Amino acid sequence: MVQFYSPNRRSVNRGIISVTADNLDAQGQGIARHQGKTIFIPGLLPDEQAQIQLTEEKRQFAKARVVKRLSDSPHRVVPRCPHFKACGGCQQQHVATELQVNTKASVLERLIQRETGISVSAHPIIRSPEYGYRRRARLGLQYHAKQRSLLMGFRQSQSNDLVNIKHCPVMRPELEQLLQPLYQCLSGLHGVKRLGHVELVLADSGPLVVLRHLDPLKPEDKETLRIFSVQYNVAIYLLGDEKSLEPLMAGNVAPWYQVDGLKLVFSPQDFIQVNDVVNQQMVSQALAWLDLQPTDRVLDLFCGMGNFTLPIATKVQATVGVEGVAELVASGQYNAQLNKLNNVDFFHENLESDIHQQPWAAQGFNKVLLDPARAGAAGVMAHIVKLAPEKVVYVSCNPTTLARDSKVLLEAGYHLVGVRMLDMFPHTGHLESMALFSREPIGIE
């Protein structure tokens, strides 16, 4: 029989080995060393000894599972959520909060040091409540014909299978208490087999639900949802396709939230920051770092619906926000009028394309804020350098692209004078941060 050589095929030692973890990564995985190789082990904490079995082996690292834990770290805590071991939404509820946040801050500091050669502190950390912080959550819906039952929940780790969620302590309590009655309501619909997902959002104006349905709902199903809406004082929106959002009941008040004393109205499909407590602190920190003055002209790139843009506008001569999603630009323009801010312009432009011909690019600015997606802001960094602003605040959801983009500013002579770790998503592997760059070497608190 012909055998084919595969250069990428590596055998995995399935034997049991004993290790002691000496560190934790940002994802909450224990890190151990064995025979010169780094091993990542979900569920193991620093200083814990365990018998493990390798599940994947590469040239420089391996992954493993715990077969038997032989000791417990003082940083190990009892997860509050009964679904923790099955649900893929959280990865670190077994880790004490202080270890979680300090690990993420250390990971951020080491990454910046490695990529830029600059030693910085990510403290003080912008903190979140340990639980009850999430004001937005999307849950999948699946109907199982054999069991004749609906599943509503988050996906298992590395799986498309849903975990039926009855409790979720990271949600705001106002949303968590809706889970079981909402499940009962949806389970009783005639169209239960053709539901896609459901999204729960807590606005300052009250809770709302967006229900994605794949087929038109029957009148009796809409009536069932209306009764639920009145009984639980929840605004319900129906999403028959990805673009058509229909309020179930006439007279629904458009949802809104407050930031820095301003009222921002948004569509249920608009992006808003999931963690309101951290968002308020993040905006306040950005405004303080920019040291806004009445004569400033400020550019806000990847501005969304104006979460930073509008608070900035209350303190400066002029602000420009640039965003690639037309619906968010429309929300920003509406909220500028709502808050009587006449010194704000929003532009709908693709910041990943050639920006030099875009109308905003011909204007001058002395301060810049940017809040890009995970891919970072490679397409605009050269233009920011060309503007030569006094200060740049970079808000990041990916420390790798933050470090990469930072090098453009550093090579242009800017100083990295401040970094903060944002505890936006406790108990998860997400690492959010913000950094301040200045043309002059300044000290910050």
Any binding-site annotation on 281?
Answer: no
Residues 333, 306: contact at Cβ < 8 Å? no
For residue 431, give every residue at least 6 positions away whose Cβ sits within 8 Å of its Cβ, in sequence order, or none. Answer: 26, 104, 107, 108, 398, 399, 421
Any binding-site annotation on 371?
Answer: yes
The alpha helices in 292-398, defined as continuous H runs, are 309-313, 326-338, 378-387
Q: What is the DSSP letter of 161?
A: P
Any binding-site annotation on 350?
Answer: yes
* HSE-CB of 356 using CA atoms within 13 angstroms: 3
Any binding-site annotation on 48?
Answer: no
Any binding-site annotation on 366?
Answer: no
Helices (H) and strands (E) in the chain, counts: 9, 22
Q: Give the DSSP per-residue string, 209-264.
A: EEEEESSPPPHHHHHHHHHHHHHTT-EEEEESSSS-EEESSTTPPPPEEEETTEEE
Q: Largest Cα–Cα distance in the chain?
A: 80
Any binding-site annotation on 303?
Answer: no
Residues 313, 256: contact at Cβ < 8 Å? no
Any binding-site annotation on 81?
Answer: yes
Any binding-site annotation on 293?
Answer: no
For residue 283, give every residue at least 6 positions away whose Cβ sits within 8 Å of its Cβ, in sequence order, or none. Answer: 259, 260, 307, 308, 311
Please identify which residue in the block is written with the tokens 């690292």: 61
Q: How far apart are CA 122 and CA 75, in angstroms?
A: 21
Q: How far apart are CA 43 and CA 60, in angstroms?
A: 21
Three-state DSSP class for 404? helix
Q: Give the DSSP per-residue string, 268-323.
A: TTS---SBHHHHHHHHHHHHHHHT--TT-EEEEES-TTTTTHHHHHTTSSEEEEEE
Any binding-site annotation on 185?
Answer: no
Any binding-site annotation on 347?
Answer: no
With DSSP H G I counted as helix, E B as strand and the rest as coil, what are the percentages for the chain, rounded to 5? 25, 30, 45
Please identify which residue in the block is written with the tokens 């995970």: 374
Q: How far is CA 442 from CA 91, 397, 418, in A?
A: 38, 25, 9
Residue 397 is among the residues annotated as catalytic for this protein: yes
Q: How far is CA 318 from CA 18, 288, 379, in A?
A: 62, 17, 24
Pick the catalytic residue: 393, 397, 421, 435?
397
H/E element holding 112? helix 97-116
Binding site members: 81, 87, 90, 168, 273, 302, 307, 323, 350, 371
Binding site members for [4Fe-4S] cluster: 81, 87, 90, 168
Binding site members for S-adenosyl-L-methionine: 273, 302, 307, 323, 350, 371
Residues forming the active site: 397
